[in-house]
Structure 1
Amino acid sequence: MDPRLCAQDIIRCDLCEDRVVQMYCNLCPMNLCMECVGRHIFDTTKKHDVVPFDLRRSRLLFPQCQTHSEENCEMHCEDCNTSVCPKCVISEKHKRHHFKSLQELVTTKKESIEKERKRLKKTVYSKFEDIVTDIETQLAEIDGEYEKLTSEVTIHGEEWQKEIDKVIEKNKEEINKMRNQHRDALNKHLNDVRKLVADVQQSLSETEDILQSREITRSLSYEIKSDKFTKLPSKLIVKFPVFTGNNNQDQCSQLFGSLSALSITTEEHGYTMKTPEAVFCHQVKPLLDKPELITTINTGQLYSVICLSDEELWTCRNDEIIKLDNLQGKLLKSIRTKSGNHPRDIAVTRRGDLVYTDPDTRTVNIVKNKEIQEVITVQGWRPLYVCSTSSGDLLVTMNNDDYKQSKVVRYSGSSEKQTIQFDSEGQPLYSFDYCKYISENRNLDICVADNRARAVVVVNQAGILRFRYSGHPSTTKGSFSPYGITTDSQSQILTVDRNNHCIHILDQDGQFLCYIDNCNLRFPWGLCVDTRDNLFVSEWDSGKVKKIKYM
């Protein structure tokens, strides 16, 4: 029996109809043996796509022609805006009309749907997740803030006589009532946002199903929906009540003090959506061939620099004063550390509060309304460098007292959430050294400039090592001296190379991109970027901060 007539015969070449198929043309589509490939692609009028048979694309399911039921539609008439079969193409009805391949159209459409899926996943869904996290963070802070408020009322009440106990209890009842109103408002807002997140998830699932489907009609009939999600929900603005005490004891009920009203409002544009340009900013903001020095600010001998805004900078040096200057070098504010020690590092929280570390008192401190609070206190370790994360946590590098261990600790408020110290083989990730600047990247990687190790050590959000960067090959071996580190809107990592008087720029995977070495940098030390990706570099030797445009 002819094997080609056997039900279990293997697939054979469509050209010679004899040899076993080994290749496949996705364009035609056609099964090919190795000997017939050259004959097939000899027709150079087509851009054949010949691949190994195992890597072939599945054949599309073309719709049936409404006019010629025995034919499938493989073309699209642009004049009639309808799918047509080969017989329709040569008919009088479509004479001199313009046609396009349905296969090309569905490929273009699926590319659009893929962009839609990526936009939903990277921009819309992630933003709604951030909003949920923001609301959950506010919920987590409610008890602490209201407990603090209750404590203030209680302490003030102890200074009065017993006859004002009723007034104290009344205030407490009002606090509890407001606490419940606050929580109810946030829970309702959280549920509303979660419903929107569910809608985004459903749209994501639908796009993924269509992308995996071979049915052309599903792809062509899909309507873009992501635009309806670009209008983000109003942001709920809740102001915690403030207790105002009064030490005049003449009229206890009236003069004891009062609580400000609980304020619950919404802000229509409280949340902002990243535009596609912001998400794919590497296409919009290429690196300059020659970075430009924009301005120089004289502030004094410097350790660290951090942006409060695009026009204001916090700086610290080797004394107990932390200064806020504008870009003209005018002093706007100064803070004296609580202990009188010089701060090791500074950071700014999402709410704009200043944070500084004090290794001698083993504390991380936050400045709120001109008051300094010890938010973190550790035993057996000394906190060194700090950064504020996109979620509102603090990442702190620290060394232990016996000068043998280093680690990174994540804090939510004063609670320790995560410790990063060893790699998957149990080896230390970081050397013991006092200089370990830290920054969180946009992809949530944690980047540490480990000066003693002569390396930038990058771990992911879970603390798993991603890579170490030990300097560009053009740098003299062992001379790479990382100090300050920061990241920008493109997830690029910028780190000081102090001894070589330059800045290294890496992509998020640790690939070297270029140097900034043409702005007369002298012993650069601290780094930060503003919202426009302008770079600020503090110089240890000169005490200046230089603003540099590099994108």
Structure 2
Amino acid sequence: MDPRAQDVLLCDLCETDPLQYCCEHCDINLCTDCVSKHLSDSSKKHKIVPYHLHRKFTPKYSTCLKHADKDCEMYCESCHIPVCITCISSGKHKAHDLSDILEKLSSKKQRIQKDLEELENKIYPRYTEISSAVQTEKAEVETNYGKLATTADQQGKVWHREVTAIVNKRKADIVETKTKHLSLLDKQADEITHRMTEINQAILEMKNILDTNDISLTSTYKSRNDEFNKLPPKIKVTLPSLSLPTINTETLNEMFGLLTSLSVTTVKTLLDEPRLTATIDTEYIQLSSVSCLSEDQVWTCSLNNKTMKLLNLQSKLLTSIQTKSENEPRDIAVTRDGYLVYTDTRDGTVNLIKNKQIQTVITLQGWIPLSVCCTAANNLLVTMVSDDRNQSKVVRYSGSTQKQSIQFDDQGRPLYSSGGYYKYISENRNLDICVADRSASAVVVVNQSGKLRFRYTGHPSNTWQSFTPVGITTDSQSHILTADCDNHRIHILDQDGQFLRYIHCDLRRPLGLCVDIRDNLFVAECRTAEVKKIEYL
């Protein structure tokens, strides 16, 4: 096709011959032969005029929507619509701003032309530029992320080498520790073998004496049975473990964890029959809590008395201190430094007593403090309930600073019952946090990070008595002891929550519990207001 043909305007009907006329009403271009065909349609109004170069400026009036035989030659600025003369004369557009439709058309086309130029010359080129920049940036992203991945791989190789070195060092430490462990056991075995040899020698000598009438041998015989009856102490070597702290970037050594040293302790076994060794009369009406200051001195408090008493094993009053608010204390504990701590539920405080001076260390808002204990790190663990009694939690404090809050398990469920004021607390030797939750009829134990380890709800074989845990304490063997108040006994559990045995000793509604440094158990009896000292190991 001749490219010049693209400049020739053709008839809209036949689409072959050049146009020479146009119908203004129908807005159609016509050649000479097609004019008659177009006029043959008498259903429409036609106006045939010659086509000329200024055809594009010839206005095409729109037909009025209300008056079909009229063209809209005016524009109502108020209604923003084209109108005909009949619409104007009807009075519907009275007082409206009217303008000539051709003037409106001209101004509109000028605005369109301006918008077209802006789109073509400014806006679209900007989009083209931005699109190009995005494509360039995408290419740079691919390159830069490739570099990051390469850097990560290189760093990973460095870390792998360091981790491998640390693993090898830890394995060497394990072998060394194992050697020490076996050496301890070998030493004990040698001592036992040596003693057995001595016993066998003594047996032979005694048999020889019995088989002879030699008066000299018989008269010089000295019994060694008392010596042999003193069995060599049994030692317990706790297997070391790898501590696994939260990974950080300070040192790879700390990130991997350190091998703990050997822990050698004397094994204490449970007595078949626990023994009551002392009874302390507190002279309270009801007794709620007890905490050991020493082997023969205990702090005590009552839920209906504002005075806390320090007593010895002979029931002698050594010191008495009234609460700062003159409210009854809820619970007491003795710190590592030997200072007394107590909770005050009415004014929402935890208080420390030094040299008979009371210092408020914790003041709660929206929460009520219940029980308190002192940890191995000399922190305070406090159980508390919300003012509306709908929530409970355990909070760790270092001085007045909150360090940890324990309230929910991994599934977001509450660890502790919402109601009840009896939630005694203790930290075990393995740093587990143990709470006797009376309202839940359970002992709830979490690790030091607050992750639930287990719940103890009473001896599995006991299906007819309700379990009412109140006081709780732990000993050097990591036993957990809890007072089953309504059933007048103490449950002894191992550190994993397995029931071991009961302590009875004619207890009457035991509440608070504590142990001294020699693992003697002190029980605060609510009904008799007596503290009973019990030997159970």
After TM superposition, the score normalised by the length of structure 2 is 0.52
C-alpha displacement of 1:275: 7.1
Within 2, Cα distance between the matches of 1:492 and 1:544?
24
| CA 122–513 in structure 1, closer or farther in 2 if over 3 Å, else same | closer
| Structure 1 match to 2:425 | 438
C-alpha displacement of 1:113: 3.8
Within 1, Cα distance between the matches of 2:411 and 2:288?
34
Measured against aligned partners, the alpha-carbon deviations of 1:217-272 in whole angstroms (never above 9, x if no partner) come to xxxxxxxxx9xxxxxxxxxxxxxxxxxxxxxxxxxxxxxxxxxxxxxxxxxxxxxx
| CA 468–478 in structure 1, closer or farther in 2 if over 3 Å, else same | farther
Unaligned runs of at least 5 residues, structure 1: 1-107, 130-196, 206-225, 227-273
Counterpart code for 1:488? D
- Whether the 8 Å contact between 2:240 and 2:263 is mirrored in structure 1 is no
Within 2, Cα distance between the matches of 1:472 and 1:125?
31
Structure-to-structure mapping, 1:429-468, within 5 angstroms: 429-432=415-418, 433-468=420-455
C-alpha displacement of 1:112: 3.6
| Structure 2 match to 1:63 | none
C-alpha displacement of 1:487: 0.0
Counterpart code for 1:513? L
| CA 337–116 in structure 1, closer or farther in 2 if over 3 Å, else same | farther
| Structure 1 match to 2:293 | 308
SS of the residue 2:330 aligns to: coil
Counterpart code for 2:298? L
Within 2, Cα distance between the matches of 1:425 and 1:478?
30
> 525, 528, 542: which one pairs with 2:511?
525
> 377, 380, 386: which one pairs with 1:400?
386
Counterpart code for 2:413? Q
Within 1, Cα distance between the matches of 2:435 and 2:299?
21
| Structure 1 match to 2:48 | none
Structure-to-structure mapping, 1:90-109, within 5 angstroms: none
C-alpha displacement of 1:323: 0.2
Counterpart code for 2:494? D
| CA 478–406 in structure 1, closer or farther in 2 if over 3 Å, else same | farther
C-alpha displacement of 1:370: 1.2
| CA 110–542 in structure 1, closer or farther in 2 if over 3 Å, else same | closer
| CA 330–401 in structure 1, closer or farther in 2 if over 3 Å, else same | same
C-alpha displacement of 1:475: 2.5
C-alpha displacement of 1:506: 0.2
C-alpha displacement of 1:329: 0.4
| Structure 2 match to 1:385 | 371
Counterpart code for 1:459? V
| Structure 1 match to 2:278 | 295
Within 2, Cα distance between the matches of 1:464 and 1:322?
35
Within 2, Cα distance between the matches of 1:456 and 1:477?
18
C-alpha displacement of 1:369: 1.5
Measured against aligned partners, the alpha-carbon deviations of 1:98-143 in whole angstroms (never above 9, x if no partner) come to xxxxxxxxxx999544457999x969999xx9xxxxxxxxxxxxxx
SS of the residue 1:419 aligns to: strand
- Whether the 8 Å contact between 2:238 and 2:263 is mirrored in structure 1 is no
- Whether the 8 Å contact between 1:449 and 1:495 is mirrored in structure 2 is yes
C-alpha displacement of 1:295: 1.3
SS of the residue 1:538 aligns to: strand
Measured against aligned partners, the alpha-carbon deviations of 1:51-80 in whole angstroms (never above 9, x if no partner) come to xxxxxxxxxxxxxxxxxxxxxxxxxxxxxx
Within 1, Cα distance between the matches of 2:465 and 2:404?
32
- Whether the 8 Å contact between 1:304 and 1:525 is mirrored in structure 2 is yes
- Aligned CA RMSD, in angstroms, stands at 3.0
- Whether the 8 Å contact between 1:454 and 1:478 is mirrored in structure 2 is no
Q: Percent identity among equivalent residues?
A: 62
Measured against aligned partners, the alpha-carbon deviations of 1:384-434 in whole angstroms (never above 9, x if no partner) come to 100000001000000001110000000000000000000000000000221
| Structure 2 match to 1:541 | 527
Within 2, Cα distance between the matches of 1:419 and 1:117?
41
Counterpart code for 1:387? C
| CA 373–115 in structure 1, closer or farther in 2 if over 3 Å, else same | farther
Counterpart code for 1:326? N
| Structure 1 match to 2:269 | 286
| CA 341–544 in structure 1, closer or farther in 2 if over 3 Å, else same | same
Aligned length: 299
| Structure 2 match to 1:412 | 398
| Structure 1 match to 2:501 | 514
- Whether the 8 Å contact between 2:478 and 2:494 is mirrored in structure 1 is yes
After TM superposition, the score normalised by the length of structure 1 is 0.51
Measured against aligned partners, the alpha-carbon deviations of 1:421-451 in whole angstroms (never above 9, x if no partner) come to 0000000000022100000000000000000
C-alpha displacement of 1:476: 3.4
Structure-to-structure mapping, 1:37-186, within 5 angstroms: 112-115=179-182
Within 2, Cα distance between the matches of 1:376 and 1:117?
47
Within 1, Cα distance between the matches of 2:241 and 2:501?
33
- Whether the 8 Å contact between 1:308 and 1:314 is mirrored in structure 2 is yes
Within 1, Cα distance between the matches of 2:311 and 2:512?
16
Within 1, Cα distance between the matches of 2:177 and 2:342?
51
SS of the residue 1:522 aligns to: coil
Within 2, Cα distance between the matches of 1:319 and 1:109?
57
C-alpha displacement of 1:311: 1.1
Which deviates further from its counterpart, 389-398 or 478-487?
A: 478-487
SS of the residue 1:499 aligns to: helix
Which runs of 4 or more aligned residues in structure 1 lie more than 2 Å from their structure 2 counterparts after TM superposition? 108-119, 121-126, 473-478
SS of the residue 1:452 aligns to: helix
Counterpart code for 1:400? S
Within 1, Cα distance between the matches of 2:442 and 2:497?
11
| Structure 2 match to 1:471 | 458
| Structure 1 match to 2:483 | 496
